Structure 1
Amino acid sequence: MTPALRAALVALAVMSAALALSCFGGDEEPAPPATPTAAQATATPEPTPTPVDPAAVIRESADRMEGVQQMHFRLDHENGASEIVRGIMMVYAEGDIGGADRMRAEIEGALGTVKFETGVIILPEGSWIQNPFDRSWEREDISIEEFFDPQDGVAALMREVLEPVLEGIEEVGGVETYRIEVLADSGDLAVFPTATPGFEVRATLWIGVEDLLLYRVDVRGAISEDESSGILRRLELSRFGEDVDIAPPP
């Protein structure tokens, strides 16, 4: 065999072996890692929610409530009542505020052991109370501040509360509200004219998340010496800014 033929056979053998390896054997090299896209490389992290400051919420709500001239209210009691005119103990009241010195209310009250229903109308030109026995209306010299003042009283209360704590978010009358627990001195409860200073009470405020209006307030504890420490007052407010027609009695 000539040297040229031997070299040709060796080259042919090498080529055959290489072809066999490429078809039937050998480990594949791993694919290079994927390069992050521009969107992946610049993704913005989720923002951390700003904590709610309950004291700031209460201050802003007080400002909002001072500007409300019309509203509907309901006041209820547990384990007690609030004294109003003529010695009447008011257990429940529901009515409307129609602006400065304009109010009407239906009242469930008691004189001693006698329970009855009556009404009150207060206007700039005069005020009246309904005789619970014959349902006639009688003139009575009374102002909103002397009777029950949800319009100015709630804002005054919110400006004096102590140690506000946000307890969560709750729905009240279909409205999402902040529930805030506070402490207050009974002397700051101008909403109730019989309140005297020196009694610590606990209160819960339900303030609208979106509009910062006060929808409900619970006041727990005595606000005068002759009340039970277990008394609960619940004031609910609604229909803010709606026109109300309050007229003298027929």
Structure 2
Amino acid sequence: EQVLGDAVDSMKTLTSFHFSYVITKPQGAKPPQGTEIVSIMGYVSLEGSMKATVDLNQSGVPLQLDFVATANTHYVQNPTSQKWQSVPADLSPLGKISLTSGAIEILERVKDAQYVATESVGGAQCYKLKGSIAAADIASIVASANADNDLDCLLWIGTEDHLVRRIQTVGAAETGEDPRLLRTIELSQFGDPVVIEVPQ
């Protein structure tokens, strides 16, 4: 619990970071009906703004979008015309995804956390912890989380700086999802200068 508490404090002081968020479907999983997020890679700044490249699967067709999110407005670049369109956050393809608050909420709400090992992630020694998390408690990283079950959760937290390097969940966050679905978030480049400009 001390490790988790220290990690919450450290994450709350972060000014910026790079992230990758990858969703891995198991072999034999059902093909998507509509649009699914495959991965998101980008940066988050102190103000909570985000710029990212989003890989989507739209009824079996891969799509890639560039994306900028500010507090209330999201900007999506049309992959065909290359023009930017602004949409309210509520209607955005990423919904209300927030990796900063999402990581902190997982640290605060993970249940039965136990030390597993000390491992290196991105060149940093980390405590690896395992526990479980309610689907409702990862709504900041899965915008449509509505399942009423728990997911298995693994956390890698820096032994010296207490910053979260990796989060993995296995399980169904949405009703009807494959219970083997793996979500992996990796954080790095903490505190690097990041300028996120609103598209014109």
TM-score by length of 2: 0.88
Q: 1:193 aligns with which of 134, 138, 143?
A: 143
CA-based RMSD: 2.0
Pick which of 134-143 and 161-170 moved more.
134-143
How many residues are treated as equivalent by the alignment? 191
**1:151 match:** 100
Pick which of 215-224 and 196-205 moved more.
196-205
**1:110 match:** 57
Amino acid in structure 2 at the alignment position of 1:184: I
Paired with 1:193 and 1:125, the residues of 2 have a C-alpha distance of 15
Paired with 1:101 and 1:214, the residues of 2 have a C-alpha distance of 17
Paired with 2:175 and 2:85, the residues of 1 have a C-alpha distance of 31
Give the gaps of 5 or more residues in structure 1.
1-54, 82-86
Superposition deviation, residue 110 in structure 1: 1.5
Give the gaps of 5 or more residues in structure 2.
none
Superposition deviation, residue 88 in structure 1: 3.5
Does 2:27 align with 1:77?
no
CA offset digits 1:180-202 (Å, max 9, x no partner):
00111111113322112521101
Higher Cα radius of gyration: 1
Amino acid in structure 2 at the alignment position of 1:208: G
Residues 71 and 242, structure 1, Cα contact 8 Å, conserved in 2:
yes
Residues 74 and 95, structure 1, Cα contact 8 Å, conserved in 2:
yes
Residues 72 and 88, structure 2, Cα contact 8 Å, conserved in 1:
no
Superposition deviation, residue 126 in structure 1: 4.0
**2:70 match:** 123
Alignment of 1:159-170 (within 5 A): 159-170=108-119
**1:171 match:** 120
Of Structure 1 and Structure 2, which has the larger fraction of its residues in helix?
Answer: 1
Q: 2:188 aligns with which of 220, 238, 245?
A: 238
Residues 202 and 221, structure 1, Cα contact 8 Å, conserved in 2:
yes
**1:16 match:** none
Residues 69 and 151, structure 1, Cα contact 8 Å, conserved in 2:
no
CA offset digits 1:164-223 (Å, max 9, x no partner):
111110000100000000111111113322112521101100000011100000110001
Q: 2:35 aligns with which of 68, 84, 88?
A: 88
Paired with 2:88 and 2:73, the residues of 1 have a C-alpha distance of 7
Amino acid in structure 1 at the alignment position of 2:120: E
Paired with 2:63 and 2:35, the residues of 1 have a C-alpha distance of 10
CA offset digits 1:18-72 (Å, max 9, x no partner):
xxxxxxxxxxxxxxxxxxxxxxxxxxxxxxxxxxxxx210121012112213111
Alignment of 1:195-214 (within 5 A): 195-214=145-164
Superposition deviation, residue 226 in structure 1: 2.5
Q: Secondary structure at the match of 1:210?
A: coil
Identity %: 24
**2:171 match:** 221
